[in-house]
Amino acid sequence: MNEKKNDKMDYKSLNELIKTGNILLKIALAAFILSVIVLIIYLFDKTNVLVTIGNIIGILSPLFIGLLLAWILEPAINYLVHNKVGRKLATVVVYLIFIFIIVLILALIVPEFISQLNELIKKIPDFLVSINDFINNIFMNFSSSNFDLSSLKDNILNGLNGWVNNITSNNLTGIVNGVGSSLKIIVNIFLGLLIAFYLSLDFSKVGKYMGALVPNRYKSELVTVKNSLNDMLRSYVNGTLLSSLFVMILSLIGFLISGVSSPLLFAIFCAITNIIPYFGPYIGGIPVIVVGYAISPLTGTICLITVVFVQLLEGNILHPLIVGRAVSLHPVTIMLSLLVFEYLFGITGMILAAPIVATLKILFLFLDNKYHIIGKLKETFFN
């Protein structure tokens, strides 16, 4: 009897050991893949390959915009085609509706956005005075202590004043550069829209042309991978846009109640930064909270409560339901990828980190299913 119990205990311990080994192996494998990617990008960066790639992407940006728009609008066109509408007519109708919606949104938001931005800029000196008073009051509370914090206070105030003076002194230069950049973006978007329209007239041919470059024996596998990537990316994009829309609406309601200046401006900023997982909500919430407390403690507190409530709702309910299932990545994996991509590519890298890593995961799972990579590693390290 004792021997049987010992055997059971041994089997149980062995199973636990195998489970632990599998977890450690997956972690080590993820770290290895991430390290290889970082090493490759680092070498590219040192040899200026990334700069060359960035320049090429900048030149070809209308093509990428066109491909993205055509891909996003394809389901709507297919819906009309399935309802016995000709492909060309369906494409024209969808693009006219798309352009109408964009123009309507711009007509409703842009004037108010510019007005609130100008209002916020005018109030910067008042906010600066309020923040200076707030900082002075904080340091006055520590004046009775044995620590001399006057130099720290002066450094903070000088840095803040220098930052504001830098903004105001470079205001004209910033406007000129901003206008030039805006014109370039508008031209690229217009060219991208034209490319997207012509691609959408027969979008299926794009896939056929790309498939023609692949040998016949790999075409079925290519279709499987393409469908998985398409489903994941479409779910991620749709979910992210829907989640950001909820964040903007809820934030706008809270900011209007608080009485903070430029509520629409801050709500849009929160919605945009919400695209970045985990870190984005904090990046978007800090400015409105600072401005809120510069106006009054009550305004700042309501802004703080709004940001916390919206992010708890989005992070714990909306994001897992709408976006989380699309990428199926562990939070630690997402955080590591955000840190790496932010270091290499800045904010743009943080926005693209999750879908890129999810794409790499799908490709790796496909290769593992075909070549049994994990199984071979298990045999190598655990046998």
Between residues 110 and 25, the one the model is more confident about:
110
Tell me, yes or no, whether 90 lies in a domain: yes
* pTM attached to this predicted model: 0.68
Is residue 239 very low, low, confident or very high in pLDDT (cuts 50, 70, 90)? confident
State the average pLDDT for the chain.
Answer: 77
Tell me, yes or no, whether 199 lies in a domain: yes
The residue whose two tokens read 């909306």 is 318
Between CA 197 and CA 18 the distance in angstroms is 54
User: First vs last Cα of the chain: how many Å apart?
Assistant: 30
Report CA 382 to chain centroid distance, whole Å.
39
Max distance between CA atoms of the chain, in angstroms, equals 88
What percentage of the chain carries pLDDT values higher than 70? 69
Tell me, yes or no, whether 114 lies in a domain: yes
The residue among 205, 221, 271 whose CA lies nearest residue 243 is 271
Which domain range does residue 105 map to?
Answer: 60-133+168-213
Kindly state the tokens that stand for 297.
């403690």
Phi-psi sector, 346: left (phi>0), alpha (psi -120 to 50), beta: left
Between residues 35 and 86, the one the model is more confident about:
86
Between CA 325 and CA 194 the distance in angstroms is 33
297-313 vs 219-258: helix axis angle to the nearest 10? 150
Tell me, yes or no, whether 24 lies in a domain: no
* Residues contacting residue 25 through CB under 8 Å, at least 6 positions apart: 374, 377, 378, 381
373-382 vs 2-46: helix axis angle to the nearest 10? 120
Tell me, yes or no, whether 185 lies in a domain: yes
Report which residue type is found at 58: G
Are 213 and 206 in contact by the 8 Å Cβ rule? The answer is no
Q: What is the pLDDT of residues 136-189, one digit of tens each?
A: 776 676 655 555 566 666 666 676 666 656 555 555 455 445 545 667 778 888
Between CA 322 and CA 341 the distance in angstroms is 23
Tell me, yes or no, whether 198 lies in a domain: yes
The predicted structure's pLDDT at residue 280: 79
Q: What is the DSSP string of 19-45?
A: HHHHHHHHHHHHHHHHHHHHHHHHHHH
Tell me, yes or no, whether 64 lies in a domain: yes
Cα separations (Å) of 136 from 127, 139, 288? 14, 5, 21
Q: What is the pLDDT of residues 306-339, one digit of tens each?
A: 999 988 888 777 776 666 666 777 777 777 778 7
Between CA 118 and CA 196 the distance in angstroms is 35
The predicted structure's pLDDT at residue 162: 64
Tell me, yes or no, whether 83 lies in a domain: yes
Between CA 213 and CA 147 the distance in angstroms is 71
Between CA 267 and CA 303 the distance in angstroms is 11
Domain count, the chain: 1
Number of other CB atoms surrounding residue 236 within 10 Å:
20
The residue among 148, 221, 176, 191 whose CA lies nearest residue 61 is 191
